[in-house]
Amino acid sequence: MNKAIREILDWVIIIAIAFGASYALRHWVVQPYRIQMSSMETTVFPNDLVMVDKLSYHFHQPRRGDVIIFWPPGITTGDPYIKRVIGLPGETVEAKDGKIYVDGRVADEPYLHGCVTPDFSPTPVPQGQLFLMGDNRAVSLDSRSFGTVSTNSIIGRAMFAYWPLKHFVVLRAQTGLAQ
């Protein structure tokens, strides 16, 4: 095989490996998503880009306060939703006097920035399900509307918003419960 053909073959192999690695990384490890809704303002905004970790929930369950990308019940096309994990399997979530209660304990939600949550009656969270809510409670279509969400419908955990740069924020679990 002459030197020119060998050089071309080497480049084709390198490019194929790069595309394969990129596909595998995006399909199974991390993927960017563009936010399409205003339900998570003032944490993330419409048209923000967030980086989503698709791997960690294979090793541990979602945690209270995680911001996740998921398919809502009955929807598998279009744009996935982004919400915050409020209630975990086996818990009961309710809102009264503008605050969220999980199993009777008030949730500490520093990301709400004065947003008041409209009251709703106690909602049990079945095993394998999560209770999810947007940070912009007044406009959020969330578990109050469509019910709890199966953990099987989770695409991944939003790690950070990175574009535009003025909206850069690390998205970490920030919800705790009063003692």
pLDDT in tens, the chain (179 residues): 688 888 888 898 889 998 888 887 777 778 899 998 889 988 899 999 999 999 999 899 999 999 999 999 887 788 899 999 999 999 999 999 989 999 999 998 888 877 778 889 999 999 999 999 999 988 889 999 999 999 999 999 999 999 998 888 888 776 667 65
Which pLDDT value is given to residue 158? 94
Q: Is 159 helix (H, G, I), strand (E, B) or coil?
A: strand
Written out in words, the top-level CATH class of the domain with range 32-177 is mainly beta
Q: Residue 125: what pLDDT? A: 97
Question: Which tokens in the block code for residue 73?
Answer: 């019940």
When computed from its CA atoms, the radius of gyration of the chain, rounded to whole angstroms, is 20
CA distance 40 to 173: 14
The full set of domain ranges for the chain reads 32-177
Catalytic residues: 39, 83
DSSP-assigned letters across all residues of 79-143: PPEEEEEEE-TT-EEEEETTEEEETTEEEE-GGGTTPPPPPEEEEE--TTEEEEE-SSTTT--SH
- Name residue 146's beta-bridge partners: none
